[in-house]
């Protein structure tokens, strides 16, 4: 492509509304433009990168035995009512009515549509397993779109869905996708980690997220270098402590007047204790019923863990009136002694004795409270969020903490949709069985943005070869110099003939301006055709990533670039 013909509006200034580097660089290098909140246009160079990534995804999906389909964006409400998600999905689902007053939505994901398709077409075990995927536009009305295409409202996703005869077969399908995802992100040259992720309260299911390591990432992760444990921060398990000998306290419970002392800090200061000697009692409503969750004063409740323990659909902090109803006391003075709801305690309470907790009486706390003696616990469980000092739940060694961007998610769905929507097949004995499903997503634009987040410097983007929109840019330092222009043109033609994706920067601009644009756009190889070198029959080949320069005779330069491109494209084993 000749630069002078390209629609490639680069920007020198950093856009004021872009917080993360990938968003800034995608605007500055002319990859995207915003239409409205969370809705973006990909310009030609940006769309080339998208197509390259899609192609990698497609190749690896096909290699794993999945088949490409293309489903509609508009989906009828009936299917979502069948799965139950018309009610549960919330405001991210954009709903509307057509001219016949039929309720519809824009697909944020396609479990309903694919399950409907498969239940209508697949009848026997002989037609299973199947894995169908698409690369298609999703709409999610995100409450706070941000970071450009990283969290937007309209975005491209690869979504795959597997259907199997039983749980073991579904595990195999899952493993194939897991392996394919590892290959996809490795081929992009990304530093990433698959981590165990929350899969909600659906029994027997599991899931992994693929996180690209980045400080700007919205997700936290922990990983262990001694064993292979890695998990999303919200999912990371905390091992049950060894059962200590039961504590028999001789101290009697003591009620203390603590006027207006509510928070852990206030309680500690007032009673001269540390947070480790205090137990917090939090009241939640789980599907409308009150439950109490006990946690040590220096810990945080992990609501996802509570929700999974209870297996409820909704979990919210209780309102004041419900708190008073079960505890006879306002928030800040609630405790477990005499409370009128089930009590669940975090593992860290095991072995605690003579602790402080709310007295269930306004302006009062209790000292020397003991479990078993003063109140009973329905269950002990892992209910808190992991912290720096917690050891690996598998091997007990030190855990590492990092942040990441979720680019992919593999999920064993089990029977969730096949039961709700009756996706059944006839087994060998002619007996009806539910299909066991899995679903697997990759954010296309988000992965491209995450790649930039990991591959940039002060001059701009540094594309890994497999995603680079173009592989080489040929830059004559002065297009008005006939010899330079001719030599550049010839080089450009030979690369095009060899199947290399090249730009010829034929603009009548200063060399400095051209170099700045080439660096900003992040083309992996730049070939400079200047008067001094050309007089010796040579050109300069420069690697964008390392700044390494090779001065080569023209014909050698052609081969050198072809080889550098091939090397850069190599897929991992
Ligand atoms: P998140 O927790 O980031 O909202 P999610 O759990 O809702 O993600 P999935 O439903 O698993 O995501 O979607 C599959 C993939 O689609 C994600 O891994 C991510 O790469 C991408 N994705 C999800 N939401 C967005 C969005 N708003 N903008 C861009 N990509 C997205
Ligand atoms: Mg989401």
**Digit-coded pLDDT (tens) for 463-486:** 999 999 999 999 999 999 999 999
- Residue 152 lies inside a defined structural domain of this protein: yes
Tens digits of per-residue pLDDT, 398-424?
999 999 999 999 999 999 999 999 999
Give me the pLDDT at residue 526, please: 98
DSSP-assigned letters across all residues of 73-135: SEEEHHHHHHHTHHHHSGGGS-EEE-TT--EEEE-S--HHHHHHHHHHH--BGGG--EEEEEE
Average pLDDT score, the chain: 95
What lies within 8 Å, CB to CB, of 27 at 6+ separation is 11, 15, 18, 33, 148
Q: Are residues 408 and 314 in the same domain?
A: no
- Specify if 542 maps to a domain: yes
The CATH number of whichever domain residue 493 belongs to comes to: 3.40.50.800
Instruction: Work out how many domains the chain is built from and give that number.
Output: 3
Q: Are strands 289-296 and 279-286 parallel, antiparallel or unpaired?
A: antiparallel
Confidence (pLDDT) at 203: 47
Which stretches of 32-86 are assigned E, i.e. beta strand?
Answer: 32-36, 39-42, 67-68, 74-76
Tell me whether residue 428 is in a domain.
Answer: yes
Please choose from 91, 147, 443 the residue to mutate so as to test ligand 1's pocket, defined by most ligand atoms within 8 A of CB.
443
Ligand with the closest atom to the CA of 138: 1
Distance 544 CA to ligand 2 centre (A): 35
Is pLDDT above 80 for 204?
no
504 lies in some domain: yes
Domain boundary (381, 413, 442) is at: 381
**Residue span of the structural domain in which 173 resides:** 15-73+107-236+401-452
Residues 448 and 480 in one domain: no
> Is residue 232, in this structure, part of any structural domain at all?
yes
377 belongs to a structural domain:
yes
Per-residue pLDDT at 573: 65
Q: Among the bound ligands, name the one nearest to the CA of residue 208.
A: 1
Closest ligand (CA of 152): 1
* Ligand 2: centre distance to CA 152 (Å): 10
> Which residue is closest in CA terms to ligand 1's atom 4?
151
Atom of ligand 1 nearest to the CA of 406: 18
Q: Is residue 202's pLDDT more than 60?
A: no
- Residue after which a domain boundary falls, among 393, 417, 452: 452
Asked whether residue 89 is domain-assigned, the answer is: no
Q: What spacing in Å lies between the alpha carbon of 411 and ligand 2's midpoint? A: 14
In a domain, 156, yes or no: yes
Q: Are residues 42 and 168 in the same domain?
A: yes
CA of 212 to the centre of ligand 1 (A): 13
Strands 525-529 and 472-476: parallel
Structure confidence by residue, pLDDT tens digits, 341-391: 999 999 999 989 999 999 999 999 999 999 999 999 999 999 999 999 999
Q: How far is the CA of 521 from the centre of ligand 1 (A)?
A: 26
Give, for ligand 1, the residue of 137, 210, 406 to mutate: max count of ligand atoms closer than 8 Å to Cβ.
406
Atom of ligand 1 nearest to the CA of 447: 20
Among residues 190, 196, 178, which one has the least CA distance to residue 64? Answer: 178
Looking at ligand 1, which residue's alpha carbon is closest to its atom 21? Answer: 443
Residues 6+ apart with CB under 8 A from 281: 292, 293, 294, 327, 334, 335, 336, 339, 357, 358
User: Which ligand has the minimum distance to the alpha carbon of residue 404?
Assistant: 1
Whether 180 shows a pLDDT value over 80: the answer reads yes
Pocket of ligand 1 (CB under 6 A): 109, 140, 142, 151-152, 155, 157, 406-409, 441, 443, 445-446
The minimum-distance atom of ligand 1 relative to the CA of 209 is 18
Percent of the chain with pLDDT over 70: 98
- Which tokens is 217 given? 């990432």
Q: What CATH number is given to the structural domain containing 448?
A: 3.30.930.10
Q: How far is the CA of 443 from the centre of ligand 1 (A)?
A: 6
């Amino acid at each position: 492509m000749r630069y002078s013909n390209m629609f490639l509006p680069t920007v020198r200034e950093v856009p004021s509304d872009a917080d993360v580097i990938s968003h800034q660089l995608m605007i500055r290098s002319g990859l995207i433009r915003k239409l409205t909140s969370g809705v973006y246009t990909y310009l030609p160079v940006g769309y080339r990168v998208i197509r390259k990534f899609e192609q990698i995804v497609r190749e690896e999906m096909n290699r794993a035995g999945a088949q490409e389909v293309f489903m509609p964006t508009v989906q009828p409400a009936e299917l979502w009512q069948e799965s139950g998600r018309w009610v549960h999905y919330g405001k991210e689902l954009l709903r509307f009515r057509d001219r016949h007053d039929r309720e519809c939505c824009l697909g944020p994901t396609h479990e309903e549509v694919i399950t409907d398709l498969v239940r209508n077409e697949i009848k026997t075990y002989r037609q299973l397993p199947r894995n169908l995927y698409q690369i298609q536009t999703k709409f999610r009305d995100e409450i706070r779109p941000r970071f450009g295409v990283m969290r937007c409202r309209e975005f491209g996703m690869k979504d795959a869905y597997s259907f199997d005869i039983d749980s073991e077969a579904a595990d195999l399908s899952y493993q194939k996708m897991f392996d394919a995802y590892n290959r996809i992100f490795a081929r992009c040259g990304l530093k990433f980690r698959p981590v165990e992720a929350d899969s909600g309260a659906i029994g027997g299911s599991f899931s992994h997220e693929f996180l690209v390591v980045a400080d700007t990432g919205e997700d936290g992760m922990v990983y262990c270098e001694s064993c292979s444990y890695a998990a999303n921060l919200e999912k990371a398990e905390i091992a049950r402590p060894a059962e200590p000998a039961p504590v028999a306290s001789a101290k009697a419970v003591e009620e203390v007047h603590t006027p207006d002392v509510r928070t852990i800090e206030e309680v500690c200061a007032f009673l001269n204790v540390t947070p480790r000697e205090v137990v917090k009692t939090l009241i939640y409503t789980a599907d409308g019923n009150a439950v109490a969750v006990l946690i040590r004063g220096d810990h945080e409740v992990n609501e996802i863990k509570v929700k999974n323990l209870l297996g409820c659909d909704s979990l919210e902090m209780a309102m004041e009136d419900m708190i008073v109803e079960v505890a006879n006391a306002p928030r800040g003075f609630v405790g477990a002694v005499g409370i009128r709801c089930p009590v669940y305690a975090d593992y860290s309470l095991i072995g605690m004795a003579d602790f402080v907790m709310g007295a269930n009486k306004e302006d009062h706390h209790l000292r020397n409270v003991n479990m078993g003696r003063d109140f009973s616990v329905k269950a002990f469980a892992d209910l808190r969020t992991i912290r720096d000092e917690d050891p690996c739940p598998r091997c007990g060694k030190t855990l590492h903490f990092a942040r990441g961007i979720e680019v992919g998610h593999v999920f064993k769905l089990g029977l969730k949709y096949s039961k709700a929507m009756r996706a059944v097949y006839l087994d060998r004995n002619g007996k009806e069985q539910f299909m066991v499903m899995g679903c697997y997503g990759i954010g296309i634009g988000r992965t491209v943005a995450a790649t930039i987040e990991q591959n940039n410097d002060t001059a701009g983007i540094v594309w890994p070869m497999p995603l680079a929109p173009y592989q080489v840019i040929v830059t004559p330092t002065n297009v008005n110099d006939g010899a330079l222009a001719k030599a550049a043109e010839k080089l450009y033609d030979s690369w095009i003939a060899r199947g290399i994706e090249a730009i010829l920067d034929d603009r009548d601009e200063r060399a400095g301006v051209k170099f700045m644009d080439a660096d900003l756009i992040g083309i992996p190889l730049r070939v400079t055709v200047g008067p001094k070198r050309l007089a010796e029959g040579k050109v300069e080949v420069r690697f964008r990533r390392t700044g390494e320069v090779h001065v080569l005779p023209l014909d050698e330069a052609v081969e050198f670039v072809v080889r550098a491109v091939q090397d850069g494209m190599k897929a991992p084993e």
